[in-house]
A and B are shown apart, each in its own frame.
Chain A
């Protein structure tokens, strides 16, 4: 009879984390920055149809990097959770904090109990009732939640991008400046990104009930031209 080899739990966790990190690092990165009217979400995404950024609820947006089918399942579960909760209670009872906790539980559960961790990093962004109260919940593949308030970077090159954003981010900026800062940080000094490489959406407090809006490529081009 074959006895399984003993593997230390530290080693199992490390292997899983390495596996998940590698999967995430293969994809492109994504940034969310706060600006005057809310939160701007900008992803490097050559696909026009497979979305990384989407709407969850009136003032809540979702963003994911890594394996598309995995974060898309999480996105749909989030939409269902939010719509069921808003129907059973009231629209104002749907909030990002509770959703982020659910995501963290799921990712933690899968990380420790399943064969394979999810190769995803996700973000739940919410507009506060008052300007300046935006919340960005950044959730890692193992269920770790980071609560960020000014900007958030998801993906393999997060540290370098975050450093660049630190230099250029201004929470009082208009949408054009915020987009330019986000795109500049994503691209780095050696590359230039154009509208076709990007997926851009905002949570814009001036839009009324449903604050989520995608920016069409033409508008992204115009804003980037004006800012440069």
Chain B
């Protein structure tokens, strides 16, 4: 029986059926997704999100991102989030134009959940990474006008039983990284810190500390990256992803990791450190591993 068009629920006949894809469903239902494709070259300053890092550890991956968005030379938001869950066992971290990035994350999350519900089983991690690649590529026309979105994607691959991470470029190019990846304006500094402190099979808690110190160093050198804001109580978003799924660390845990990081330099722990002045001594990347309970992650 060919089902007649349902009068009040989305229904499609034959070749029009969008299948398990939510973006195809949106298009079929008449939503326009390319609203930014026709924008002029002279855009007003839009908010940009910066510095995110992701690294593999013994049991999965850690992702972290600072909280600052900038528009030109101004700080436009102090508390935006750049690390989001995607599916049950993965996360996506964004750098680039904040508005399109957050919309892309929202669509990506829906795409994964929609697929899982329609098909009855989740998309593989590889499939998820490819989906994101297509979404980044679809944004290319906007990227040429300055609305760049370059995410990091990381997750626990149940098929291989390991954490995996992927980096993207504006064309949708998808690059799987073995150890770590960094994105955004502070990525040079953040990436270097992770590179120096990284070793295979890091315990999760050490990976969290390494990500936290990478963001701290990036904030130290890059005006567009926000450091831990002890005055306002704003801390980077840090998430751990392992076989149990995506788990965002609570602010108290992240604050404790920052205070431990700063502790060797007496007195600095209590100082406002939004744009930290003197570099605290003894906070080399792999130093703050002592007294880190493994369950901190």
State the A residues within 8 Å of B (CB): 49, 51, 54-56, 69-70, 73, 76-81, 83-84, 86-88, 102-103, 105-106, 109-110, 114, 116, 210
Contact = CB atoms under 8 A, between A and B. Distances in A.
Interface residues of B, number: 21
A102 B118 contact: no
B201 to A, nearest CB: 31
B25 A106 contact: no
22 contacts: A54-B120, A55-B117, A69-B1, A70-B1, A73-B3, A77-B9, A77-B11, A79-B114, A79-B118, A80-B9, A80-B10, A80-B25, A80-B114, A83-B25, A84-B25, A86-B110, A87-B110, A102-B8, A102-B9, A105-B8, A106-B7, A109-B7
Nearest to A79: B117
Given A51-B120, A102-B8, A103-B9, 15 more contacts: A54-B117, A69-B1, A73-B3, A77-B10, A79-B118, A83-B22, A83-B113, A83-B114, A84-B25, A84-B26, A84-B31, A87-B22, A87-B26, A102-B9, A114-B4
Contacts, number: 57
Given A55-B117, A56-B117, A73-B3, A83 B110 contact: yes
Contacts of A210: 113
Nearest to B3: A73
A49 B119 CA distance: 11
Interface in B100-128: 106, 110, 113-114, 117-118, 120
Contacts of A79: 114, 117-118
B36 interface: no
A84 B114 CA distance: 10
A114 B22 CA distance: 30
Contacts of B9: 77-78, 80-81, 102-103, 106
Contact of B6 (A77, A87, A116): A77
Contact of A106 (B8, B117, B118): B8
Interface in B1-23: 1, 3-4, 6-11, 22
Given A51-B120, A54-B117, A81 B26 contact: no
B29 interface: yes
B10 A105 contact: no
Interface of B: 1, 3-4, 6-11, 22, 25-26, 29, 31, 106, 110, 113-114, 117-118, 120
Nearest to A81: B9
B187 to A, nearest CB: 31
A221 B31 CA distance: 46
Nearest to A114: B4
Contacts of A54: 117, 120
B196 to A, nearest CB: 37
Contacts of B6: 77, 106
A56 B120 CA distance: 11
B36 to A, nearest CB: 17
A210 B113 CA distance: 10
Contacts of A51: 120
A105 B7 contact: yes
A39 to B, nearest CB: 17
A106 to B, nearest CB: 5
Given A77-B11, A80-B10, A81-B10, A110 B4 contact: yes
A75 to B, nearest CB: 9
Contacts of B3: 70, 73
Nearest to A116: B1
Contacts of A109: 7
Contacts of B114: 79-80, 83
Contacts of B4: 110, 114
A83 B111 CA distance: 10
Contacts of A77: 6, 9-11
Contacts of A70: 1, 3
Nearest to A49: B120
Given A84-B26, A84-B29, A76 B8 contact: no
Nearest to A110: B4
A210 B26 CA distance: 22
A51 B29 CA distance: 27
Q: Most chain-A Cβ atoms within 10 A of its Cβ — which of B3, B31, B117?
A: B117
B227 to A, nearest CB: 31
